[in-house]
A and B are shown apart, each in its own frame.
Chain A
C-alpha cells in the first residue's frame, strides 16, 4: 500500500541515521529544528505535513505490519532499515507529485473552501438557499461568505464561470481519472450527497489512507495548475494564503527578520526570550533555505569551503559521528555545514 511505501521511502532516504520516530514527525509536519533539518538534508520535502493528525497508534500499527511483512527491521537502538523485499516494494512505488513543504497542510484549507463554495453555488443555482454547510469551522464559513460577497455570486454568469473553471482545471493532464473520481466524490451539492472514505475504499478497493494521499496529491496538482493559469480567476482568488510565502517556519521567520535588522545572535536570543539552542535551530533553518546570511559568520578564521569538502568525504549526516571526526567544532557549526552541504551534492 501507498502509505507504507512512503514510510519505506523516508526510512530509505534517512540512511540508517534516524530513529523510527523521525518519519512520524516528518509526516505530521512537526515544526522542530530536527525535523526541518531532516526534510532538507534527506530531500523529503514532498512528504512534510502529509498527515498532520496521524496518531502514534496508527503509525505504530503500520510499522508493525511492515515488520511482519518483512519489509523493515528495527535494530536495538530503534534505527529502522529496509530489507531486500522492502527495497523491492519501494521500487514498485509510483512517483507522487506531492509538494508538502510548499503547502504544509494548507491544501486542506483550500479543499474546505472549494467544498463549501461548491456546495453553496450548487444550492444557489438550484434556488435552494437553505442547507447545512458541509464545513462546520466558523472561520472557514466566514471566509467563504466574505469571498462570495466580492462577486455577484447569485448571478448565472458567475456560477457558470466557476463551473467552467472547475471543469477546466480538472482536465489537467497531470490528474488521473482516479484522482478526479476521489476529488469529485468528496464534493457535495444540491441533491448530490458526498461519499465517505469507507464507501470509496469499499468501491475502489483501495485503503482509505491511500485514497487520502491521492486526494492530497490532486490538491497539490490543482494548486500548482491554478498558480500558472491566470485565466482561472475565481479559483486563483480561492488560493489566498495557501502557499507559504516564506520557506521558514513562523518562529524562524521572526529570528530572520531581527537578524536582517542588524541584531546579533545574542541580542535576538534575549529579545525573543528564547534559549540559544532554539535560535541555533533557526539559523540552521535559515542556512538550509538559503536565506540571506553567510555562515562564515560562525566560522571566524576558517575556510568553510574546505571544511565542507572534508565533511563530504565521510558520507554521513549523523551528527554524533561527525563530532567524533571534528572534535574542535561545535554541534551548531556542524549542523550549519550539513545544512548548506545538503543541497549542493
Chain B
C-alpha cells in the first residue's frame, strides 16, 4: 500500500515524496472516512483530493467558495493532462448548463460553487450519479467565527444530510476550536479523522520596519532589493503604485515588471511566464497576483502597506519559500498607513444611505443594475445588498453591514498590532489561526532578532538582458532553431 501510493505520486504527479501530512490524509480518504484536514495555505492541499480521485472509482465533487480559486485548480488539473475536469459556475448559459448536466457523471473532477449545489436540477443529478468523494475547500468559510464567513456555504449543510452520502473531505488553514466545531457540525461529519499540520512556515522570516514617510519607504524598498536577491514580489495597494514602483525600479537596473487586474489577460500571463522563466526577478503587484502563480523559489515578499487581514497577509507571504528554503517577508509601514488601509478596505462598502436608495428602487420595480449605470451605487454595493436584502429586513441589513464593516476595521488593527507590538510576529500569526508555536527558528522575526544576511543571499548584478530581439530570432526560438 505504502509503496503503491508513492508510485502513484511519482507517476502521476512527478513528486518523489509527500509533504508532511499528505499521505495520512490520503489514506484516511481512501478508507472512506470523513476527514478534516488542516494544512497551511499553498502546501499541497489539492493533492489530498486529486490523488484519491485517481484511486477511487467515481467522480469527486469539489465545492469551492472562490471563482478564481476554482479556475486555478481546473487549470492545474488540465495542465497535468486531465481532461475529465469541469467547473460549473453561474457564468454558464442555461443551454450550456443543461448540456453539461447530461454528461456530468463522465467527469472525474467536478468543481461547484455552493449556490450551484443547491439548484434543484444540479441537486437531482448529484443524487442519481455515483460519487466517490465530496471536498469542501476553504471549509472555514462555513463558520461565522471564521474570518471569511460565506453564508452560502451553510446550504451545504442540508445537502450533506442525506443517508448514504459519500465521504466528505474538509480542507482549511484555520484551526481555532470554534471553527473546527462549526465545520464538523455544519458539514455533518461523522466521527471525522482530524489531521492537523503546523500552520507555521518556519523557513519564512518576518520583518516589520517603521519608516517616516512614503518617500523613505520607497528608498528603503529600493535599497533592500539592491542588497538582497529575489525572486520576489512587492505587494502594493493600487494599480497606479504598482506601475510607478516598477517603472522607477527598472530605471535603477532592476529586472522588474508590474502586474495588476487593469492589464489584459494575455499581458498578465506574459508576466507570469517571465517570472517563472527568471526573465524578471521581481514583480510589483496588487493582490491580484498570486493565484495561479506556481513558483517554488520565491525568496522575498515585500509589503508597502498593512494587508486587510491576517489571513491575507499569511497568504501573501506564504507565496515565498514553497521549496522549503529560507525566505524573507518584509513589511514597511509609516505611522498613518493603517488609515489608508482602512479606507481601501471600507470605502466601497455600503451603508445606511445605500440600503435606502436600493430599497426605494426595488419598490418602484426597477432593476438594481440601473443604480450602477446611474452612478448611484457601485457594483460592490449592489452585489452585497443583493445578497443581504432578500434575506433580512432593511434594519437587520444595516446592522449586519455595520458589524461587517467594524470587523474589517478590526482585522486591519489586528494586522497592525501583530506587526508593530513587541511580541513575536510568528507566534501571533499562528495564534490567530488557533495554534501555539512549539519551536522558534533562528532569525525568527525582527522582534525576536533577525540578521537578514543569514536568511537571504546578496543580490547579484545581472547583465542587462535585452527584452527586444529581431523577429527572426524570436520565431526561430519558438521552434528551437537557434542552435
Q: Is B477 an interface residue (CB 8 A)?
A: yes
Q: Is B75 an interface residue (CB 8 A)?
A: yes
CB–CB A194/B471 < 8 A? no
From A118, A163, A194, A200, contact of B273 by CB (8 A): A194
CB–CB B468/A203 < 8 A? yes
Q: Is B357 an interface residue (CB 8 A)?
A: no
CB–CB A134/B277 < 8 A? no
From A118, A126, A131, A167, contact of B480 by CB (8 A): A126
User: Helix, strand, loop or mixed for chain B's interface?
Assistant: helix
Q: Is A122 an interface residue (CB 8 A)?
A: yes
* List of B residues within 8 angstroms of A189 by Cβ: 477-479
* List of B residues within 8 angstroms of A195 by Cβ: 270, 467-468
Output the nearest chain B residue to A111 by Cβ-Cβ distance.
B266
Q: Is A89 an interface residue (CB 8 A)?
A: no
Q: Is B448 an interface residue (CB 8 A)?
A: no
Q: B270-281, CB under 8 A of A: which get 1 and which 0?
A: 110110010100
From A129, A166, A177, A196, contact of B271 by CB (8 A): A196
CB–CB B468/A194 < 8 A? no
Q: A113-128, CB under 8 A of B: which get 1 and which 0?
A: 0010010011001100
CB–CB A192/B265 < 8 A? no
CB–CB B270/A181 < 8 A? no
Q: Is B267 an interface residue (CB 8 A)?
A: yes
**Smallest CB separation, A208 vs chain B (Å):** 10
Cα(A198)–Cα(B265), bound, Å: 13
From B81, B250, B266, B475, contact of A134 by CB (8 A): B266
Cα(A181)–Cα(B471), bound, Å: 5
CB–CB A184/B471 < 8 A? yes
* List of B residues within 8 angstroms of A190 by Cβ: 478, 480
Q: Is B288 an interface residue (CB 8 A)?
A: no
* List of B residues within 8 angstroms of A200 by Cβ: 468
Known A199-B467, A203-B467: A193·B478 in contact at CB below 8 Å: no
Known A126-B480, A130-B79, A188-B270: A193·B475 in contact at CB below 8 Å: no
CB–CB A132/B471 < 8 A? no
Q: Is A180 an interface residue (CB 8 A)?
A: yes
Q: Is B269 an interface residue (CB 8 A)?
A: yes
From A122, A135, A197, contact of B479 by CB (8 A): A122
CB–CB B471/A193 < 8 A? no
CB–CB A184/B269 < 8 A? no
Known A189-B478, A191-B477: A131·B270 in contact at CB below 8 Å: no
* List of B residues within 8 angstroms of A197 by Cβ: 264, 267
- Give B residues with C-beta under 8 Å from A: 75, 79-81, 243, 247, 250, 257-258, 263-267, 269-271, 273-274, 277, 279, 467-472, 474-475, 477-481
The 10 A-B residue pairs with the shortest CB-CB distance, nearest first, are: A194-B270, A193-B273, A180-B471, A189-B478, A184-B474, A184-B471, A196-B267, A193-B274, A122-B478, A163-B479
Q: List 14 A-B contacts (CB under 8 A).
A: A130-B81, A132-B79, A180-B471, A181-B468, A181-B470, A184-B474, A188-B273, A189-B479, A191-B477, A194-B267, A197-B267, A200-B468, A202-B247, A202-B250
- Give A residues with C-beta under 8 Å from B: 115, 118, 121-122, 125-126, 129-132, 134-136, 159, 163, 166-167, 170, 177, 180-181, 183-200, 202-204
